[in-house]
Chain A
């Protein structure tokens, strides 16, 4: 009961201090907004997030297994390590993205792409897509630019076109036209014993087959087919490591699918936001959790300051001289910080959602998932913040000490914890170091509930783990505070 009286008084004092109350809530949001407007689209994204190939698939034809060749090319790119393939929905958007510099390039598979690939052949009558450095993209009705993306596209197309052409060529080995051609080109020496029958030094293979068939047309055709099949079998035996009829890169090279290949195919989403506030920009997914956590822990300074001011004014000693128990006093000081912290968190998330289009949660979340994300996690964070605030406030004898003591949990921990510079912009082991701080744990969990466009699942195990660590930290800190306050109140002071 008395705890609530103390808590009510603390909140009344805070509400009356309008400037502080304003700063507490408006400053974090202002910082999010300013940084959100100033920073580029790629802020805080991993390097591999940026290794992205944007593709527009307009292909209307069919290729292998009745799949459009463009589709096969895209699948090939997706299977390329460290490449994310992003599907652009239409040509206007593709042109806009390139024009505004949001995408370096977009690979466009034009409607005739499959038809053109189908026409590719080693035969003189077919389309020859090759040149010294690779493939003529324009011959295949593919439009793109820039060196890196063109290289990726070239490789993908080579892997598509080459097996297709080899497969088709291999099939041609059994074709009567090919045997006809072979029969004319290959001449065999006539042994002397047969010179009476065949009065020549050499006889073309075609003539020999004709001779063998006794000028029977059906039998001659049959022999030619056997020769073709024999050549195919011989070549297959000779090149056992390859399936020359495969027509796809995987079949040709008899390669096995890499089980670790992850699906990196996404559909284009506008990550730079819209309107003046850049609503929905992907960077808010990093800025909002970062600043929410950072400013939650900044309460250590504000609550500590109020505590120190109360000690300096003598009201704290007066409070200690009342019959109120030490736990009640602690709880009375503790509750307002938790309430303010929770209010601040919800304020930032709410404003982020409404004004900045912040994405919170996934459609697949259940009611309990929402409870964990929006109640349990903020409570654990606020509990840790309040415990830290009380300890720092209690240990600080004056404002100078408080400024020094709180600079560690407020500034240094925020930096290490990834609130100021996202982990993606820091060295690889930075995240390991971040987990030495409560901010690191809190931020990890808050970022999990505010997924990026690539996230399709939520790691609730991670959120639970962070929640438990924050709660444990809070318990340790509040226990130290309790013991310290007890010694101050009842010790030999």
Chain B
């Protein structure tokens, strides 16, 4: 499906103060219609605060947010019907069944009758709770099922934009995959998704574009490819430690090569697209490689290179 790159959500110089503490500092972003946009950052970076403002649940100290040209403000109740928010914590009634929860929230968004019934059934199917589990009290659900129900409630009113605040915290891989599948399905149906996480793998797996948030500031925002290009691939290989001649050749051909001749191990940081050239060089020079390991760039490295600290610190 071809994605139309029109801006659905515009964030203009948002700052949020909690007393003296600056939770968000002059954030500006544009999110395109139909994309899955990732907000990646460590805990406390300001992801949830930003999401809360975008969902209209709280007010920025300064700056503006616009949804399709309409300013998002807490008292603009009409806009809320276009937004689906999946909070980080489970936010549903444990003494209601999955279906009852969906019906309840659907009704609050003004849905009723056949439309509501079919939508609820559709969502139950998407989140994988369409069998007898739909009629079980949600307090008896596993963590993963609860996460899926949490997601489903935000989808029941068919929002234009879905905002997920770390929706996979504490879930098993199987449930995580189901959540990913659900998000991809919803996105494929045209819903724009804003996905906050501190798991780089999730952002890499899901997001078209990613903004990296640190200490309330956007430190990078781009497509995954472009972000990864901010760092380089490291090639690590080993040769026989007594092959001094080959070692000299390598030093001549690759002056940036870092080596430990006594151990016979070498490492070289390069752009990913130059890796084949290096491999060819080793083959042509008939250097016998004992082992070879490519350390590809990832968002963790990007974050490390941008902030000097690890994402999960």
Name A's B-contacting residues (CB within 8 A). Answer: 2, 5-6, 9, 12-13, 16-17, 313-315, 317-325, 489-493
Please give, as numbers and ranges, the residues of chain A lying within 8 Å of B271 by CB-CB distance: none
Determine the distance from Cα of A490 to Cα of B72 in the docked complex, in whole angstroms.
Answer: 12
Interface of A is mostly: helix
B250 at the interface (CB under 8 A from A): no
In this complex, which of A2, A317, A321, A493 has the most chain B Cβ atoms within 10 angstroms of its Cβ?
Answer: A321
Q: Can you name the residue of chain B whose Cβ is closest to the Cβ of A325?
A: B77
Please give, as numbers and ranges, the residues of chain A lying within 8 Å of B66 by CB-CB distance: none
Q: Is the CB of B95 within 8 A of A2?
A: no
Q: Is the CB of A493 within 8 A of B108?
A: no
Can you show 18 pairs from A to B with CB atoms below 8 A apart?
A2-B110, A13-B95, A313-B91, A313-B94, A315-B91, A315-B93, A317-B91, A318-B92, A318-B105, A321-B55, A322-B109, A323-B77, A323-B81, A323-B110, A490-B59, A490-B74, A490-B75, A493-B58
Please give, as numbers and ranges, the residues of chain B lying within 8 Å of A12 by CB-CB distance: 95-96, 100
Please give, as numbers and ranges, the residues of chain A lying within 8 Å of B78 by CB-CB distance: 323
Determine the distance from Cα of A492 to Cα of B62 in the docked complex, in whole angstroms.
Answer: 11
**Provided the pairs A313-B90, A321-B85 are in contact, do residues A2 and B96 lie with their beta carbons within 8 angstroms?**
no
**Provided the pairs A323-B77, A323-B78, A325-B77 are in contact, do residues A314 and B91 lie with their beta carbons within 8 angstroms?**
yes
Please give, as numbers and ranges, the residues of chain A lying within 8 Å of B243 by CB-CB distance: none
Please give, as numbers and ranges, the residues of chain A lying within 8 Å of B75 by CB-CB distance: 489-490
Determine the distance from Cα of A362 to Cα of B83 in the docked complex, in whole angstroms.
Answer: 59
Closest beta carbon of chain B to A382's beta carbon, Å: 24
Q: Is the CB of B110 within 8 A of A318?
A: no
Q: Is the CB of B95 within 8 A of A321?
A: no
Q: Is the CB of B59 within 8 A of A322?
A: no
Determine the distance from Cα of A317 to Cα of B153 in the docked complex, in whole angstroms.
Answer: 13
**Interface size class, chain B:** 20 to 34
Q: Can you name the residue of chain A whose Cβ is closest to the Cβ of B80?
A: A323
Contact of B80 among A17, A315, A322, A492 (CB under 8 A): A322
Contact of A322 among B92, B94, B108 (CB under 8 A): B108
Please give, as numbers and ranges, the residues of chain B lying within 8 Å of A318 by CB-CB distance: 85, 87, 91-92, 105, 153
**Provided the pairs A2-B107, A5-B108, A322-B105 are in contact, do residues A491 and B90 lie with their beta carbons within 8 angstroms?**
no
Contact of B89 among A314, A322, A493 (CB under 8 A): A314
Determine the distance from Cα of A9 to Cα of B104 in the docked complex, in whole angstroms.
Answer: 8
**Provided the pairs A16-B95, A318-B105, A322-B105 are in contact, do residues A492 and B77 lie with their beta carbons within 8 angstroms?**
no
Determine the distance from Cα of A320 to Cα of B100 in the docked complex, in whole angstroms.
Answer: 19
Please give, as numbers and ranges, the residues of chain B lying within 8 Å of A317 by CB-CB distance: 57, 87, 91
B152 at the interface (CB under 8 A from A): no
Please give, as numbers and ranges, the residues of chain B lying within 8 Å of A9 by CB-CB distance: 93, 96, 104
Determine the distance from Cα of A321 to Cα of B92 in the docked complex, in whole angstroms.
Answer: 13
Q: Can you name the residue of chain B whose Cβ is closest to the Cβ of A318?
A: B91
Please give, as numbers and ranges, the residues of chain A lying within 8 Å of B91 by CB-CB distance: 313-315, 317-318
B56 at the interface (CB under 8 A from A): yes
B142 at the interface (CB under 8 A from A): no
Determine the distance from Cα of A16 to Cα of B83 in the docked complex, in whole angstroms.
Answer: 31
Please give, as numbers and ranges, the residues of chain A lying within 8 Å of B104 by CB-CB distance: 5, 9
Please give, as numbers and ranges, the residues of chain B lying within 8 Å of A490 by CB-CB distance: 59, 73-75
Q: Is the CB of B108 within 8 A of A314?
A: no
Determine the distance from Cα of A403 to Cα of B56 in the docked complex, in whole angstroms.
Answer: 31
Q: Is the CB of A321 within 8 A of B56?
A: yes
Closest beta carbon of chain B to A488's beta carbon, Å: 10
Please give, as numbers and ranges, the residues of chain B lying within 8 Å of A314 by CB-CB distance: 87, 89-91
Per-residue contact bits, chain B 28-63, to A (CB 8 Å; 1 contact, 0 not): 000000000000000000000000000111110100
Q: Ordered nearest first, which 6 A-B pairs have the shortest CB separation?
A: A314-B91, A318-B91, A323-B77, A322-B108, A490-B74, A314-B89
In this complex, which of B59, B77, B83, B92 has the most chain A Cβ atoms within 10 angstroms of its Cβ?
Answer: B77
Q: Can you name the residue of chain B whose Cβ is closest to the Cβ of A492?
A: B59
Determine the distance from Cα of A490 to Cα of B76 in the docked complex, in whole angstroms.
Answer: 9
Which chain B residues (224-276) contact chain A, with CB distance < 8 Å?
none
Q: Is the CB of B74 within 8 A of A324?
A: no
Please give, as numbers and ranges, the residues of chain A lying within 8 Å of B105 by CB-CB distance: 318, 322
Q: Is the CB of B57 within 8 A of A320?
A: yes
Determine the distance from Cα of A5 to Cα of B107 in the docked complex, in whole angstroms.
Answer: 7
Q: Can you name the residue of chain B whose Cβ is closest to the Cβ of A319?
A: B108
Closest beta carbon of chain A to B126's beta carbon, Å: 19
Closest beta carbon of chain B to A187's beta carbon, Å: 112
Q: Can you name the residue of chain B whose Cβ is closest to the Cβ of A5?
A: B107
Please give, as numbers and ranges, the residues of chain A lying within 8 Å of B109 by CB-CB distance: 322-323
Closest beta carbon of chain B to A333's beta carbon, Å: 13
Closest beta carbon of chain B to A121's beta carbon, Å: 88
Which chain B residues (75-124) contact chain A, with CB distance < 8 Å?
75, 77-78, 80-81, 83, 85, 87, 89-96, 100, 104-105, 107-110
Please give, as numbers and ranges, the residues of chain B lying within 8 Å of A6 by CB-CB distance: 108
Q: Can you name the residue of chain B whose Cβ is closest to the Cβ of A10?
A: B93
Determine the distance from Cα of A490 to Cα of B59 in the docked complex, in whole angstroms.
Answer: 8
Closest beta carbon of chain B to A267's beta carbon, Å: 55
Please give, as numbers and ranges, the residues of chain B lying within 8 Å of A489 by CB-CB distance: 74-75
Determine the distance from Cα of A317 to Cα of B105 in the docked complex, in whole angstroms.
Answer: 12
Please give, as numbers and ranges, the residues of chain A lying within 8 Å of B93 by CB-CB distance: 9, 13, 315
Contact of B108 among A2, A13, A17 (CB under 8 A): A2
Determine the distance from Cα of A491 to Cα of B75 in the docked complex, in whole angstroms.
Answer: 9
**Provided the pairs A12-B96, A490-B75 are in contact, do residues A324 and B108 lie with their beta carbons within 8 angstroms?**
yes
Determine the distance from Cα of A321 to Cα of B159 in the docked complex, in whole angstroms.
Answer: 13
Determine the distance from Cα of A58 to Cα of B56 in the docked complex, in whole angstroms.
Answer: 86
Closest beta carbon of chain A to B95's beta carbon, Å: 5
Determine the distance from Cα of A315 to Cα of B149 in the docked complex, in whole angstroms.
Answer: 13
Closest beta carbon of chain A to B155's beta carbon, Å: 13
Closest beta carbon of chain B to A37's beta carbon, Å: 36
Beyond A2-B108, A317-B91, A321-B56, list 16 extra A-B contacts (CB 8 Å). Answer: A2-B107, A9-B104, A12-B100, A313-B89, A313-B90, A314-B91, A315-B91, A320-B57, A323-B77, A323-B109, A323-B110, A489-B74, A490-B73, A490-B74, A491-B74, A493-B59
